Amino acid sequence: MHTRPGVEPYTTRTPRVVAARRLQRRRERMQERRFLAEGPQAVREALAEGVVVELFTTLEAASRYADLVEAAERSGVRSSPVTDDALAALAETVTPQGLVAVCEFVDVPLAEALSHQPRLVAVLAGIRDPGNAGTVLRTADAAGAGAVVFAGDAVDPYNGKSVRASAGSLFHVDVVRDDDPLAVVERIRAAGLTVYAADAYGAQDLDHVPLAQPTAWLFGSEAHGLPPQLADAADARVRVPIYGRAESLNLAAAAAVCLYSCARAQRTEGTSR
Amino acid sequence: MHTRPGVEPYTTRTPRVVAARRLQRRRERMQERRFLAEGPQAVREALAEGVVVELFTTLEAASRYADLVEAAERSGVRSSPVTDDALAALAETVTPQGLVAVCEFVDVPLAEALSHQPRLVAVLAGIRDPGNAGTVLRTADAAGAGAVVFAGDAVDPYNGKSVRASAGSLFHVDVVRDDDPLAVVERIRAAGLTVYAADAYGAQDLDHVPLAQPTAWLFGSEAHGLPPQLADAADARVRVPIYGRAESLNLAAAAAVCLYSCARAQRTEGTSR
């Protein structure tokens, strides 16, 4: 057990808990370069990546997930018992499963991500909904993307909802944050990738563009798509064909179709890279 | 304008409004075989399908969407002015845009849907989240599916969240409700379709199964997947390949990849039907 005799569980008023709770706000996260990950799956992934600074657990969770608490202690991570109330205050879900970790930011500069020569990249430019952003990150990971770029005013990848929707993928791929989407596109193209703008009204049909080469996909906001200037910077605007009567696909579905189409073509058609 | 002189807008206490609000509950919907659709897009689609029984509008919306109010009146649909409060009570979103329609159920029996010889069918078996169900319905429509079956204890397609997430697709494809998923599978196969169970742990890889023939996809619950008995009834259990480190895809993303893979294969490889 991680509780030493005489150590009372921290409450909502314990300064360490109060400080950690502040990380629920974007401004605090940016200042501290730390964020919160909750639940056993995310905590396990964060521990494996070596980015956990402190682990808060209820007494019940410390016993149910003793392996995680031991893994934390072996790595020299401070493991702190908290009351159920304090855990509930740290967590943002109704059923937080008793574990919340304070983690260091995991993002890397774009140059570093590109140095790993990814063959598939997703660029989120202006996605506003954190759940959508996390879902696209998860889908990109599943499709084998090496990097996911949160560009411009896209949602913060460390937003609690985004972290949860990513289901651990935040820790799997090179996540990049960059304020300048146009510069991102230029540097990705300079690294040898084809850049496609996913655009419901794009001139090119997904079924008729080359997909086997190293490719980056630009995804825009749910409501407004990509800014014209950014879509123009891509090598092509590509639409997922609508075979039925729907007006469009939602963002997460369109991203899944685009990313998997590339993943499959890269594996079945072969590439030079 | 649809307001006749002397007609006061209905309030939350007007019996017609009270009666319509009851349709927010599943039991009332099933009894009345009616549901609510809100916002200009859904109302437009419902009017085009001829299923609107009554249209409630705020004064502002009646003027902004005068074309819809006129279309309703041309079809002999009762158009009723309501106060902003009454509209807010009828709608389930924060920004309902001033329009709510009472609609007749649109679902058809499975036999009727199969008589249209669909080449792509989605069967939702046990999907619990209405937003997910509506999203899969929308994606199936976009991929050209002819029918979407809500089977067993899947969410109600007339749930407000599901209707909104479907973005009109509820009115585009043959929607079927059926209590018996196993019987649905048997009858779909008897109609000549291959039946694939989407299963994260399926033995067959999506990239290596035939997809050009008429096909039905079974999708299970977000948390538990398909019941084993139902997955066994399919011709194969098919997994979307995971190329990266994600454990799985979320349901809507997996459905998008499966349905579009078939849609593309059916168009590029050709079929006998």
Instruction: Say whether B135 and A167 touch across the interface (CB within 8 A).
Output: no
According to CATH, the topology of domain B110-268 is Alpha/beta knot (3.40.1280)
**Structure confidence at residue B223 (pLDDT):** 85
CA distance B236 to B214: 14
pLDDT single digits (tens) A212-235: 999 999 999 988 899 999 999 999
- pLDDT surpassing 70 at residue A6: no
CA distance B220 to B230: 9
* Structure token digits, residue A172: 């799997």
Helices A40-49, A66-74: inter-axial angle, 10-degree rounding: 20
Report the alpha-carbon angle B253-B259-B264, nearest 5.
120
| Residue from B132, B243, B267 to probe the interface with A (highest A Cβ count within 10 Å) | B243
Whether the CB of A142 is below 8 Å from some CB of chain B: the reply is yes
The chain B residue lying nearest A145, using CA atoms, is B244
Domain boundaries, chain A: 15-104, 110-268
Report the alpha-carbon angle B32-B36-B39, nearest 5.
165
Whether the CB of B79 is below 8 Å from some CB of chain A: the reply is no
Instruction: Say whether A145 and B256 touch across the interface (CB within 8 A).
Output: no
Please name the residues in contact with A216: beta carbons below 8 A apart, sequence gap of 6 or more: A120, A121, A122, A123, A185, A188, A189, A193, A194, A195, A196
Pairing of strands B78-81, B34-38: unpaired
Q: At which residue do the structure tokens 């563009």 appear?
A: A209
Kindly indicate the confidence band of residue A92, based on its pLDDT and cuts at 50, 70 and 90: confident
| Three-state secondary structure call for residue A214 | coil
**Structure confidence at residue B111 (pLDDT):** 98
CA distance B191 to B216: 11
> B172 contacts in A (CB within 8 Å)?
244-246
**CA-to-CA separations, B15 to B10, B12, B20, B86, B184, in angstroms, rounded:** 9, 8, 9, 11, 40
> B267 contacts in A (CB within 8 Å)?
207, 243
Closest-CA distance of chain A to residue B243, Å: 5
CA distance B52 to B38: 11
**HSE of B227, CA atoms in CB hemisphere, 13 A:** 14
**CA-to-CA separations, B211 to A142, A213, A233, B241, in angstroms, rounded:** 21, 24, 35, 15
**Structure confidence at residue A153 (pLDDT):** 81
Instruction: Say whether B139 and A249 touch across the interface (CB within 8 A).
Output: yes
- Concatenated DSSP letters of A34-91: EEEEESHHHHHHHHHHT-EEEEEE-HHHHHHTHHHHHHHHHTT-EEEEB-HHHHHHH-
> B253 contacts in A (CB within 8 Å)?
135, 138-139, 142, 252-253, 255-256
Kindly indicate the confidence band of residue A273, based on its pLDDT and cuts at 50, 70 and 90: very low
Per-residue DSSP letter, A207: G
- Using CB atoms, pick whichever of A141, A247, A249 lies closest to residue B244: A141
**Structure confidence at residue B153 (pLDDT):** 81
Q: Which of B169, B53, B253 is nearest to A142 (CA)?
A: B253
What is the 3 state secondary structure string of A144-206? Answer: CCCEEEEECCCCCCCCHHHHHHHCCHHHCCEEEEECCHHHHHHHHHHCCCEEEEECCCCCEEH
Kindly indicate the confidence band of residue A272, based on its pLDDT and cuts at 50, 70 and 90: very low
pLDDT single digits (tens) A139-155: 999 999 999 999 988 78
| Residue from A247, A261, A267 to probe the interface with B (highest B Cβ count within 10 Å) | A247
Highest mean pLDDT pick, A103-117, A121-135, A148-162: A103-117
Task: Render the burial of B68-88: b for 16+ CB within 10 Å, e for the rest.
Answer: bbebbeeeebebbbbbeebbb
- The overall average pLDDT reported for chain A is 93
* Structure token digits, residue A251: 């963002």
Closest-CA distance of chain A to residue B161, Å: 15
Closest-CA distance of chain A to residue B61, Å: 21
Name the residue type at position B86. Answer: A
- Looking at the domain that runs over A15-104, which CATH code has it been given? 3.30.1330.30
* ipTM of the prediction greater than 0.95, yes or no: no
Find the helix or strand (DSSP H, E) in which A111 lies: helix A110-115
**CA-to-CA separations, A19 to A11, A69, A256, B175, in angstroms, rounded:** 12, 21, 37, 51
- pLDDT surpassing 90 at residue A176: yes
Q: Which of residues 84-123 of B touch A (CB under 8 A)?
A: none
Paired with B20 in beta bridges are none
- Using CB atoms, pick whichever of A139, A250, A264 lies closest to residue B207: A264
**Structure confidence at residue A77 (pLDDT):** 96
Helices B130-142, B251-268: inter-axial angle, 10-degree rounding: 10
| Residue from B209, B211, B240, B257 to probe the interface with A (highest A Cβ count within 10 Å) | B257
CA distance A70 to A62: 9
Kindly indicate the confidence band of residue A270, based on its pLDDT and cuts at 50, 70 and 90: low
Q: Which residues of chain B have pLDDT under 70?
A: 1-6, 270-273
Whether the CB of A74 is below 8 Å from some CB of chain B: the reply is no
Whether the CB of B205 is below 8 Å from some CB of chain A: the reply is no
pLDDT single digits (tens) A12-67: 999 999 999 999 999 999 999 999 999 999 999 999 999 999 999 999 999 999 99
Name the residue type at position A267. Answer: R
Please name the residues in contact with B156: beta carbons below 8 A apart, sequence gap of 6 or more: B26, B29, B130, B150, B162
- Using CB atoms, pick whichever of B169, B249, B255 lies closest to residue A246: B169
